[in-house]
A and B are shown apart, each in its own frame.
Chain A
């Protein structure tokens, strides 16, 4: 009987919606994981719109832009605001409607959700020293929003034309609607809910993974929320609950920083909206660029967050413990006892410096880099210029510093800086990355500061993650040959080295990553429904000359573009402790 190839068998079993969505790891971008209202000790939720739907009206100045002193001529603020708002319904159950225009100029708790650029005393007073603010009025005890207004400053000029000296309306609108939908600020530097932006910056127009996780944490409804998992835990310092730690989940599979949360006054935290898979979790102080006061909110998040501790990974910084996240499930008791001494390392300035020549600058916020980019990265913070180059790295697949720093020095403000050549591979996975400084005795993460944007022409690729167990012939390594996993590729083949000749190699594939530590160094890195033990009946090949190969032709099915296939192999190995050894995981990213 002719057997269906391994990958084809798996792919044919994929549910149609998954294929239609372009795969399980397609990038969305969303909001900060600190929701706007939570009570110490127990969540009382966040203020939400009745029926999850909202209608906003515009002060009619938006139909006569020349009448607005704070909007660049030729701009279309209404369309830009609508576009910014539309990011949220695209990834969650919230809805937004443009309800037309009104002659009302000034924000007020009057039951009408207003967007206004008008220059009035009330608006000026409400916006204070900000670019724009969202005033969300809700009633207790229902926590239903009764009025929500967005007001824009008249102290600066806004634009929809991408003018470098003006502030981008769509980006700021997207951020403000995040507040409207219940989110506070994010410590993930490339998130839309990161509390800083720069003139001309546009990357906050689209949501980051943390933003998406955040809004679905507020509106916990099917399917967005329940197709993901949750990490819960408590942060302590010297045995007592620690308030205000920024707790971050970074994927082990691709090194992408997915989402973060903040520990509440009782030390507890909850990171929602995580795709299934293995994660590292760390707690860091909110010591810049996002700080205590950026995420302060009256009774529920008062000031006084503790920032006097060091960035600490679950399980320790040297060998962090991996956390298993499964969809629809809560992984509880992910508790971190932080190192109680104050952090001396701190990164708080970043700059993209494409030419490597001429003037450069740095600011607090993150930014996007496209796959295939080579650039220079300016990193700034106290004493950064005195830290050895080898301590600096970027997390995740496809992004790296490609050599020694080309310059270092001190900014006028006293912070040190270093400039590193930086490369983003053409096949880099989209999503935020941390810059890490690790000097052995201490490390710090610049959280999600470089966000790899989705490629305009994504390409098929493979990358590996995860450990192998030690077998009789060493650690078996899973790789591929015959080119990239393009749709189609009839020559594609999976190869395992360091096997024991005469034994058998079993191949397994899945559409999700997983983490099941079976002991003895054997880890299952992929999610196989109803097959959580190695080996089982499956696709196999004999080990010959220490190598096992399995022809794995990629079918010509264009709808599979963007699907990620997670492959792992297990080898029978009579000489090893469990009679078995296992490989790393190989991720196949399918594209034509």
Chain B
């Protein structure tokens, strides 16, 4: 009997309590898809180009600068290309290691949530949380956004259903539509305040 009452109390409780805030050091400050969508200045689907290590302007901090060929812009002013910066990289015979930062391989196709940092450089917003691999379904030609199960806190509440509690990919159109809806919903919420 006690267990049953306790169970009822818990069911009520879980409706009220969201997941505990966690972060990661290189512990990240946790972001979900809604926050990423709203906070990003630009969201793009892009092909990864060449990479080079260099000190950020006015600093002695090594960054890796990656050239992106933008295929579509889902938020912000459309651009054909942009330069992405991520801390860490190689400059001459010096390498700077920073664990847990997003890394890219030339030729990869990615969907990125972007925001300018304090030095005016485009960065992946939320570090690895703002980076999604884009793959092509060779049979259908559809472009799919992969949903990393390890980043479930970012996307699980937005695409999971009871029938499919752990989706592994969604079409890029579905993903874009979700982002748009999240931005609109956040905007309405802000207006209603």
Residues of A that sit less than 8 Å from B by CB: 36-37, 47, 106-110, 120-122, 124-126, 128-140, 146, 153, 155-156, 167, 172, 175-176, 179, 184-185, 195-199, 286-298, 302-304, 307, 344, 346, 348-349, 351, 356-365, 382-383, 404, 406-407, 409-417, 419
Contacts and interface: CB of A to CB of B under 8 A. Distances in A.
B25 A356 contact: no
A122 to B, nearest CB: 5
Contacts of B19: 349, 361-363, 411-413
B148 interface: yes
B94 A139 contact: yes
B181 to A, nearest CB: 17
A412 B96 contact: no
Chain B CB within 10 Å — which of A167, A307, A412 has the most?
A412
B165 A131 contact: no
B33 to A, nearest CB: 10
Contacts of B152: 288, 348, 382, 413, 415
Contacts of B14: 359-360, 407, 409, 411, 417
B120 to A, nearest CB: 9
Given A122-B61, A135-B87, A359 B16 contact: yes
A139 B149 contact: no
Q: How large is the interface on B (under 10, 10 to 19, 20 to 34, 35 or more residues)?
A: 35 or more
Interface string B120-135: 0101011111110000
A131 B28 contact: yes
Given A126-B61, A179-B99, A414 B165 contact: yes
Interface in B41-88: 55-56, 58-62, 64, 87-88
A455 B14 CA distance: 32
A126 B6 contact: no
B102 to A, nearest CB: 7
B38 interface: no
Contact of B94 (A130, A146, A199): A146
Nearest to A131: B27
B10 A360 contact: yes
A451 B9 CA distance: 28
B140 interface: no
B21 interface: yes
Contact of A130 (B10, B117, B127, B165): B127
A414 B96 contact: no
Contact of A406 (B3, B24, B90, B162): B3
Contacts of A172: 25, 27
A442 to B, nearest CB: 14
Contacts of A130: 23-29, 100, 127
B150 A290 contact: yes
B137 interface: no
Given A36-B99, A153-B29, A167 B151 contact: no
A500 B123 CA distance: 74
A57 to B, nearest CB: 16
* In the complex, the 10 A-B pairs of residues with the closest C-beta atoms, listed nearest first: A291-B150, A414-B160, A413-B157, A108-B60, A382-B166, A407-B10, A288-B150, A382-B165, A124-B118, A121-B118
Nearest to A167: B23
Interface string B3-38: 100110111011011111111111111010000000
A499 to B, nearest CB: 44
Contact of A136 (B90, B97, B160): B97
Contacts of B7: 406-407
Nearest to B62: A109
B92 to A, nearest CB: 9
A195 B24 contact: yes
17 contacts: A47-B97, A122-B61, A124-B117, A125-B117, A129-B29, A130-B27, A130-B28, A131-B25, A135-B96, A195-B26, A293-B148, A296-B100, A307-B150, A359-B14, A360-B13, A360-B17, A406-B7
A129 B97 contact: no
A134 B98 contact: yes
A61 B118 CA distance: 20
Given A137-B95, A349-B19, A359-B16, A298 B103 contact: yes
Contacts of B100: 130, 133, 185, 195, 293-294, 296
Contacts of A156: 23, 29
B150 A287 contact: yes
B169 interface: no
Contacts of A344: 166
B9 A294 contact: no
A361 B87 CA distance: 33
B153 interface: yes
Contacts of B31: 129
A419 B58 CA distance: 53
Contacts of A412: 18-19, 157
Given A47-B97, A406-B3, A406-B6, A131 B13 contact: no
B48 to A, nearest CB: 11
Given A129-B28, A288-B149, A135 B125 contact: no
